[in-house]
C-alpha cells in the first residue's frame, strides 16, 4: 500500500507538471499569434515607397505646346522662333527637328536652372515644367531632320579636316568622334549637328570659347583652341552634313 501511495503521488505530480507545461506553451503560442495578427494590418497599411522617375512623354501634348504654347500659364509657342516642326527659317534660332530627346531636355533644364544663359530662352524655360519639357523634346525628336548645305567653298577642306581628323598640332580632337561621321550625334550623349545653321553653330562655339556658354566643360576646352577662321570653317562644313 505504501508503494502504491508513492506511485500515485508521483503520477499526480507528473500529470500536474505536464498540464502546467502545456498551459505555458499554449499561452506563448496564443501570444505569438496575437502579435502577428496585430502586426499584419500595420505592415499592410504602410505605403509603398515612391520611386521617382522620368515623366512619361506625351508627343501630342508636346506638339500642342510647341505650336500653340499655353496662354493660361504664360508659355509662349516655340514655333515662332524655331519654325514649324522645329525647322527654323534663320540661323539666329537653331533647327530642333530630329534633335535627340535627352539633349533638348538637358538644354531646356540648363536654361531653367541658369546653367546656360540666354535672355530669351531663360524666360521661356521658366514657364515650363518637367512634363512639358519631356513632351516637347519627344515631339521634336520625331520630326524629319532639316537638311542644309555648306556655303563657303574656300573653307570646306579646312572644315572637313577639323571635323573628321581634328588638329593634332593644337590638341583638337575630331568632331566626328562624338558627333558621328554624318553629324547624327549619339542619343543621350552628343547632339545632332548635321544640317544645323552654320551661323548658329559658329555663335555657340564662340560662346564656349569666350565663356559666355558654360554648360559643357568638354566643348569649352575644345573651342578655346579654335580660331575665328577655324570655327567658321567647321560650322559651315557641319551645315552640309546629312
Fold entry, domain 59-141:
Cytochrome Bc1 Complex; Chain D, domain 2 (1.10.760)
Report the pLDDT value the prediction gives residue 236, as an integer from 0 to 100: 98
pLDDT at 1 exceeding the cut of 80: no
The architecture in CATH of the region 156-239 reads Orthogonal Bundle (1.10)
What are the extents of the domains in the chain? Answer: 1-47, 59-141, 156-239
Across the range 179-183, mean pLDDT stands at 98
pLDDT tens-digit readout, 42-100 = 444 444 444 456 789 999 999 999 999 999 999 999 999 999 999 999 999 999 999 99
Mean pLDDT taken over the chain: 85
3-state secondary structure of 100: coil
pLDDT tens-digit readout, 203-226 = 999 999 999 999 999 999 999 999
Report the pLDDT value the prediction gives residue 54, as an integer from 0 to 100: 77
pLDDT at 36 exceeding the cut of 60: no
For the chain, give the DSSP string: -HHHHHHHHHHHHHHHHHHHHHHHHHHHHHHHHHHHHHHHHHHHHSPPPP---PPPP-HHHHHHHHHH-BGGGTBPPTHHHH-GGG--SSTTS---TT--HHHHHHHHHHHHHTSS--HHHHHHHTT--HHHHHHHHHHHHTSPPPP-----TTTHHHHHHHHHH-BGGGTBPPTHHHH-TTS--BTTTB---TT--HHHHHHHHHHHHHTS--S-HHHHHHHTT--HHHHHHHHHHHHT--
Say whether 156-239 and 59-141 share the same fold.
yes
Amino acid at each position: 500500500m505504501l508503494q502504491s501511495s508513492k506511485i500515485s503521488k508521483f503520477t499526480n505530480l507528473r500529470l500536474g507538471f505536464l498540464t502546467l507545461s502545456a498551459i505555458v506553451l499554449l499561452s506563448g503560442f496564443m501570444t505569438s499569434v496575437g502579435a502577428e495578427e496585430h502586426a499584419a494590418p500595420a505592415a499592410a497599411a504602410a505605403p509603398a515607397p515612391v520611386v521617382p522617375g522620368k515623366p512619361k512623354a506625351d508627343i501630342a501634348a508636346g506638339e500642342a505646346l510647341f505650336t500653340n504654347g499655353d496662354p493660361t500659364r504664360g508659355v509662349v509657342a516655340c514655333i515662332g522662333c524655331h519654325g514649324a516642326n522645329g525647322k527654323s527659317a534663320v540661323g539666329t534660332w537653331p533647327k530642333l527637328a530630329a534633335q535627340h530627346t535627352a539633349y533638348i531636355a538637358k538644354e531646356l533644364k540648363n536654361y531653367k536652372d541658369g546653367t546656360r544663359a540666354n535672355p530669351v530662352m531663360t524666360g521661356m524655360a521658366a514657364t515650363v515644367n518637367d512634363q512639358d519639357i519631356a513632351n516637347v523634346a519627344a515631339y521634336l525628336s520625331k520630326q524629319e531632320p532639316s537638311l542644309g548645305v555648306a556655303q563657303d567653298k574656300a573653307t570646306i577642306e579646312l572644315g572637313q579636316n577639323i571635323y573628321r581628323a581634328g588638329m593634332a598640332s593644337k590638341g583638337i580632337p575630331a568632331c566626328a568622334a562624338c558627333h558621328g561621321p554624318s553629324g547624327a550625334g549619339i542619343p543621350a550623349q552628343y547632339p545632332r549637328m548635321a544640317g544645323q545653321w552654320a551661323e548658329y553653330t559658329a555663335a555657340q562655339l564662340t560662346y564656349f570659347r569666350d565663356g559666355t556658354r558654360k554648360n559643357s566643360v568638354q566643348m569649352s576646352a575644345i573651342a578655346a583652341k579654335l580660331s575665328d577662321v577655324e570655327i567658321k570653317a567647321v560650322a559651315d562644313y557641319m551645315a552640309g552634313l546629312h
